[in-house]
Amino acid sequence: MYNAKAYAAASATSPFASTRIARRDPTEHDVQIEILFCGICHSDLHLVRGEWSGLMPAVYPCIPGHEIVGRVTKVGSAVTKFKRGDLAGVGCMVDSDGTCPECQAGLEQFCPNMILTYNSPDKHLGGVTYGGYSDSIVVDERFVLRVPSNLNLAGTAPLLCAGITTYSPMRRWGVSKGKKVGVVGLGGLGHMGVKFARAFGAHVVVFTTSPNKKEDALRLGADEVVVSRNANEMQKHAASFDFILDAVSADHDVNAYLQLLRRDGILTLVGAPAKPLAVVAFGLILGRKSLSGSLIGGIPETQEMLDFCGAHNITADVEVIPIQKLNEAYERLLKSDVKYRFSIDMASLKST
Ligand code: NAP
Ligand code: ZN
C-alpha cells in the first residue's frame, strides 16, 4: 500500500477537504496511473450530496471522480496493454466479474458484480473504492482505456463519462445523416451529445433553459436552438424528431419532449434527476413512441468512442480549475454555470 493525496467529503453537507488515502500497490494485472486531469460530473454531486440515497447511498468519506486521464507510472507483471509512460483513461467502472452474459457482450456496465470507480466495495483494501479527485489510482488493465495522443488532455477527461454516455445511445438508436435529433440540457453531457450528433451527420436541435447558451450551442454544432421555456418555439417542432437525448439533471417535464417526437420516435433519458418523472400515457401511445434509458457504455464501446474522438479531434469544452476550487465548482454546476465541463488540473494537488 502507499499513500495518495485526495479531496474528500466527510458527509452530504460537508465541503470537500484535502486528505490522504491508501491505494494498493499494483498486483499483476494492475496499472498504476498518475492522474493529470479529472472531470466533474453532475453524478458526483448527486451522489456525494445524498440525492440518490434511495438507490445508491454515499459512504463517507466520499472521493468522487470518474472522468480520469493520466500517465502510467507502473504496471503489474501480467499487464500487456500498457507500459510505463503511456497515456491512460479510467471511466465509471474499475471491475466486473468478466464471465456473465453482460460482460461477454462487452456491456460491463450491466454486470451484477460491476464495481464503480468510487463508492463501491473495494475487494482489495476493504471499505469502498475512491475516485479520481486524487493524484493517483490503481486499476485492473481491463478497465483502463487507451487515450489518443493528439487530444488535449484536460478536454479528454470528460469523454470517459460525458462522452461515452452520449455516444452510446446515439450509436444504439442510429443517429446519422437525415435524422432530426434533439439534445435537452446543454451541460457536460449535453454539449458532448451535440458534438457527436453533429459528427454523425444529423440535424441537431438543442433545447436549453439558458438563453445565454444559444450562441455556444450553434458554435458547438447545433443547427437550431430552442429555449424550452418558450411554448411557441417548442410547438414549431411538434411531431418532427427521430430521436431526443434528455441530459437534464433536475426535475422537468418529459411530456413536452414526447410530443416533439415523430411516429416511432425515441426519447432516451441519460439525465438522472432524483425525483420520479410523470409520463402521460397518451404521449407514448399516440405515435407509438418509446421512452428509454442508457447507462454510460461498455469498455469496448468506450475505446471505440475515444478512437472516434481521436480521429475527429473531438474533446469536451472545459474550464480547467485547481482542486482548491472544487467546492465553488459544485455550486456553479448546480446553477448550470459551467462551459461546459469542469476539469480539475491535478498538478494543483501537489501543493496540498
Ligand atoms: P450538468 O453539466 O449540470 O448539465 C445539466 C443541464 O441540465 C444543465 O446545464 C441545464 O442545461 C439543464 N438543467 C439544469 N437544471 C434544469 C432544470 N431545472 N430544468 C431544465 N433543465 C435543467 O450535468 P451533467 O454532468 O451533464 O449530467 C446530467 C445528468 O446526467 C445528471 O443527472 C447526471 O447524474 C446524469 N448522468 C447520467 C449518466 C448515465 O450513464 N446515464 C452518466 C453521467 C451523468 P440548460 O442550461 O441548457 O438548460
Ligand atoms: Zn459521470
Residues 193-247: tens digit of each pLDDT: 999 999 999 999 999 999 999 999 999 999 999 999 999 999 999 999 999 999 9
CA-based nearest residue to 266, from 280, 247, 238, 245:
245
Please tell me if the CB atom of residue 292 comes closer than 6 angstroms to any atom of ligand 1.
no
Please tell me if the CB atom of residue 248 comes closer than 6 angstroms to any atom of ligand 1.
yes
**Ligand 1 centre from 249 Cα, in Å?**
3
Q: Tell if the pTM clears 0.85, that is, is over it.
A: yes
Please tell me if the CB atom of residue 19 comes closer than 6 angstroms to any atom of ligand 1.
no
Dist CA 70 CA 77 (whole Å):
20
Q: Which three cell numbers stand for residue 35?
A: 492522474
Please tell me if the CB atom of residue 271 comes closer than 6 angstroms to any atom of ligand 1.
yes
Whether residue 352 is predicted with pLDDT greater than 90 in this model: the reply is: no
Report the percent of the chain where pLDDT is more than 70. Answer: 100
**Ligand 2 centre from 164 Cα, in Å?**
9
CA-based nearest residue to 7, from 33, 30, 38:
38
Q: Which of 42, 164, 218, 275 best tests ligand 1's pocket when mutated (most atoms within 8 Å of CB)? A: 42
Dist CA 334 CA 42 (whole Å):
8
Atom of ligand 1 nearest to the CA of 41: 25
> Which parts of 236-275 fold into alpha helices (H)?
255-258
Please tell me if the CB atom of residue 247 comes closer than 6 angstroms to any atom of ligand 1.
yes
Mean pLDDT of the chain: 98
Q: Which three cell numbers stand for residue 33?
A: 496511473
Other Cβ atoms closer than 10 A to 31 = 27
pLDDT of residue 32: 98
Q: Are 257 and 232 in contact (CB under 8 A)?
A: no
**Ligand 1 centre from 43 Cα, in Å?**
9
Dist CA 59 CA 131 (whole Å):
12
Dist CA 68 CA 73 (whole Å):
15
Distance of CA 81 to the CA centre of its chain: 24
CA-based nearest residue to 309, from 84, 189, 158:
158
- Looking at the DSSP bridge assignments, the partners of residue 30 are 140
Atom of ligand 1 nearest to the CA of 186: 47
Residue nearest to atom 1 of ligand 1 (CA): 187
